[in-house]
Each structure stands twice: as structure tokens, then as C-alpha cells.
């Protein structure tokens, strides 16, 4: 199912570009602060998971279709934390004595995203919906446990995450053009694919961002 969605996303991207009016296309740049709402698919596990944060920046293309309708197409580079998990726990020394400990875990990654939004503009405002393709470049899980034993316990390790080669989601956004060159926007992406390529994976991630753009 995930593979079908990914193929459909590529077809949709190519098709959308073919409808654009090349003569009136505008180019610019966009930077954003993003929040990532990760779910493991297990409500008990999700209670210890905090929302991840990240930043992104890249290119923005606005391609008119007809009248007030246009495509807003981006290509952005992300550095983000998918989630930040922490909880208190107990551990025991060789003599069976109990100590308090804290466990922390996060996944960080670099990724390239390609959002395509069909927007309706009215005055300086716009709103629209579309899709977004994410291409993870490198994902790493870091785990750390610290305790109050004698001596204090402090262990940390990291490993690569076997993520999918492509993520796909539904993008919804709205914004306002402060001037003819500068605009601000809000965007949400509802993830439709699982985070990893494992057959039993039930995880998902929604993304929320606030951005600022400049058109040349």
C-alpha cells in the first residue's frame, strides 16, 4: 500500500507541473520552523513521546494555473527531530540495590521535502491543499540512560534507523503576503505512510510549520 501511495505521489507531481503557466511563474526562497507529531501506533508508548522540532529552508515556486488559482511548489532541506522520548525508570546493581534512572531517546534526520499545494488567492491571502513527498537522507536514533548508582551510571549509544526511502502526506496551508515579495504561511502535513519499511510498522507522523518566504 505504501508503495502504491509513493508511485501515485510522483505521478501527481509530474502532472501538476504540466498544468503550470510557464510565462507567469515566480521564484523565491522559504524558511520555516517545524514541529513533528510522531505516533508509534501504540497509545501506551505514545504517552512518553514529546513533539519533535526542526528547521527547513529551500526554494519556492508559484506557478499560476487559471485566474486566482496557482500551484505552490517547494524543494526544502530539513534538519529535524522526529520525536523526543523520556521517562523515569529503576535499575539494580549487582547486589540488588535499587536506583532511580532516566531514559531518553530521540530520532534525528536530514530530509528533502517537495510540497505541492493547489492554492486559491484572494487579495494578499491564500489557502490551499495538496501533497508532500519527503525523501529522508539519513536518520539516527540516540539513546541515553543516566542513574544515581554508586558509581553513577551514564550510558549513551546511537544507531541508524531503517526508514522508508520516501514518505507521502496530504498538505494543507494558508498564508498572507505582507508585501509583493514577502509572505508568511502556516502548513500542516498529514502523514499517510509508515515511518519505517517494516511490514508490522504502525507508526506515522504529522508535521506542522510556520514559514516566511521571499519572492525575487
In a domain, 191, yes or no: yes
Is 175 part of any domain?
yes
Lowest mean pLDDT among 1-10, 47-56, 117-126, 157-166: 1-10
Can you give the pTM of this predicted structure? 0.78
93 domain-assigned: no
Would residue 180 count as lying in a domain? yes
Beta carbons of 109 and 163 less than 8 angstroms apart:
yes
Residue 199, SS3 per DSSP: coil
pLDDT in tens, 176-194: 999 999 999 999 999 988 8
For range 188-204, the mean pLDDT: 82
Neighbouring residues of 29: CB distance < 8 A, sequence distance ≥ 6: 57, 58, 59, 60, 213, 214
Spatial separation of the C-alpha atoms in residues 56 and 33, rounded to whole Å: 7
- Cα→Cα distances 50→82, 86, 108, 149, 206, Å: 9, 8, 13, 27, 13
pLDDT score of 104 more than 90: no
Q: What angle do CA 65, 70, 73 make, to 5 degrees?
A: 115
Confidence of residue 23 (pLDDT cuts 50, 70, 90): low
Cell of 24: 507567469
C-alpha cell at 114: 517537495
In a domain, 204, yes or no: yes
Q: Which domain holds residue 23?
A: 2-80+108-134+163-215
Q: What is the CATH number of the domain that holds 21?
A: 2.40.160.20
- Asked if the structure places residue 155 within a domain, the reply is no
pLDDT over 70 (residue 20): no
- E strands within the chain? 26-39, 49-66, 69-92, 98-122, 125-147, 154-160, 167-177, 182-191, 204-215
- Residue 93 pLDDT exceeds 80: no
Q: Can you read off the three cell numbers belonging to residue 84?
A: 523526543
In a domain, 154, yes or no: no
DSSP symbol at 181: S
Please give the Cα distance from 36 to 207 (Å, whole number).
5
| CA 120, chain centre distance (Å) | 24
Residue 177 inside a domain? The answer is yes
Residue 188: name the closest of 172, 169, 211 by CA. 172
Q: Count the domains in the chain.
A: 1
Q: Are 104 and 139 in contact (CB under 8 A)?
A: no
Amino acid at each position: 500500500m505504501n508503495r502504491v501511495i509513493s508511485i501515485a505521489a510522483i505521478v501527481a507531481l509530474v502532472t501538476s507541473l504540466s498544468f503550470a503557466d510557464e510565462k507567469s511563474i515566480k521564484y523565491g526562497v522559504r524558511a520555516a520552523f517545524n514541529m513533528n507529531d510522531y505516533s508509534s501506533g501504540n497509545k501506551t508508548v505514545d504517552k512518553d513521546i514529546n513533539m519533535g522540532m526542526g528547521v527547513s529552508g529551500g526554494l519556492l515556486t508559484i506557478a499560476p494555473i487559471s485566474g486566482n488559482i496557482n500551484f505552490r511548489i517547494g524543494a526544502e532541506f530539513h534538519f529535524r527531530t522526529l520525536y523526543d522520548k523520556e521517562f523515569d525508570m529503576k535499575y539494580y546493581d549487582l547486589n540488588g540495590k535499587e536506583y532511580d534512572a532516566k531514559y531518553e531517546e530521540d530520532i534525528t534526520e536530514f530530509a528533502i521535502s517537495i510540497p505541492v499545494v493547489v492554492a486559491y488567492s484572494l487579495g494578499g491571502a491564500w489557502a490551499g491543499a495538496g501533497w508532500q513527498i519527503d525523501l529522508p537522507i539519513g536518520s539516527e536514533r540516540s539513546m541515553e540512560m543516566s542513574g544515581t548508582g554508586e558509581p553513577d551510571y551514564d550510558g549513551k549509544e546511537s544507531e541508524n534507523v531503517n526508514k522508508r526511502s520516501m514518505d507521502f502526506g496530504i498538505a494543507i496551508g494558508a498564508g498572507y503576503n505582507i508585501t509583493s515579495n514577502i509572505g508568511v504561511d502556516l502548513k500542516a502535513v498529514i502523514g499517510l505512510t509508515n515511518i519505517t519499511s517494516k511490514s508490522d510498522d504502525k507508526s506515522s507522523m504529522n508535521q506542522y510549520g510556520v514559514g516566511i518566504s521571499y519572492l525575487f
